[in-house]
């Protein structure tokens, strides 16, 4: 039920057909019969991670992005391993996630490992619709990819519910009281950070951290990021309240 509820959140509460197709794709991915392909206009890694946690627990989720340094998991982002062979090994009994336009040059040599009947790794491919994919990888050729519609295609009623649900997720992730996501925070996100599902999720987590800790420096430490990055992120969104 948690998985289905999340699918309705990202695909649309009236999009029953899309949710059914997504569940079919997840079933194929769960049994490692096909890669799970997610398409959309924003950064889709956060959505991939959320689907992994709901559909494929409790194994690891490893990102292999050649443009990011090797990093360990935080409350904001997953583990990233640049070397695809090392990433594949780390993802055993879990999921290996790649961005289709940032595949490492060594990746074709690794893809045959996914075809092994004993392979214990699921592959998740995030495909950005706003990038020209003249080099689209063969791994994205699956029967039913999951297409996440842009937030601009969703109704204002949907947006309010999306913000509320991501607020609840942030409360759960940080383990704090519900009062740390108030009506003013909901309104701020709608007005300043509702460009994509990923941005809404990020904003909810950061506002809850700020509210729960009392200041930006403490919130940044809680989120394992630099205070200056958090302060700049907030300042760029023309806040209407002081934190």
* Structure confidence at residue 92 (pLDDT): 93
Domains and CATH numbers, the chain: 2-149 (3.40.50.300), 152-235 (no CATH)
Is residue 107 within 8 Å of 84, Cβ to Cβ?
Answer: yes
Angle in degrees, 0-180, between the axes of helices 16-30 and 2-11, rounded to the nearest 10: 130
Q: 114: number of CA atoms within 13 Å, CB side? A: 28
pLDDT of residue 117: 64
At 68-95, the pLDDT tens digits run: 899 999 988 999 999 999 999 999 999 9
Q: pLDDT per residue over 152-210, tens digit each? A: 999 999 999 999 999 999 999 999 999 999 999 999 999 999 999 999 999 999 999 99
Query: How many CA within 13 A on the CB side of residue 86?
Result: 11
């Amino acid at each position: 039920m948690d998985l289905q509820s999340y699918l309705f959140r990202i695909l649309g509460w009236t999009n029953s057909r899309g949710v059914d197709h997504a569940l079919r794709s997840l079933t194929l991915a769960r049994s490692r019969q096909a890669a799970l392909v997610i398409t959309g206009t924003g950064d889709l890694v956060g959505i991939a991670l959320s689907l992994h946690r709901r559909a494929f627990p409790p194994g690891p989720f490893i990102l292999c992005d050649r443009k990011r340094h090797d990093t360990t998991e935080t409350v904001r982002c997953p583990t990233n391993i640049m070397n695809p062979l090392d990433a594949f090994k780390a993802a055993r009994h879990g999921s290996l996630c790649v961005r289709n336009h940032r595949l490492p040059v060594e990746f074709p040599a690794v893809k045959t490992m996914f075809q092994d009947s004993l392979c214990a790794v699921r592959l998740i491919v995030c495909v950005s619709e706003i990038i020209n994919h003249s080099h689209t990888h063969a791994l994205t050729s699956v029967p039913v990819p999951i297409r996440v519609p842009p937030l601009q295609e969703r109704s204002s009623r949907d947006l309010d519910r999306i913000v509320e649900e991501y607020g609840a997720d942030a409360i759960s992730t940080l383990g704090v009281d519900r009062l740390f996501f108030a009506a003013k925070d909901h309104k701020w996100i709608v007005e300043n950070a509702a460009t994509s599902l990923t941005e809404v999720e990020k904003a909810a987590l950061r506002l809850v951290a700020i509210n729960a800790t009392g200041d930006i420096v403490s919130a940044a430490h809680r989120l394992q990021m630099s205070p200056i990055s958090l302060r700049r992120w907030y300042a760029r969104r023309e806040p209407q309240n002081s934190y």
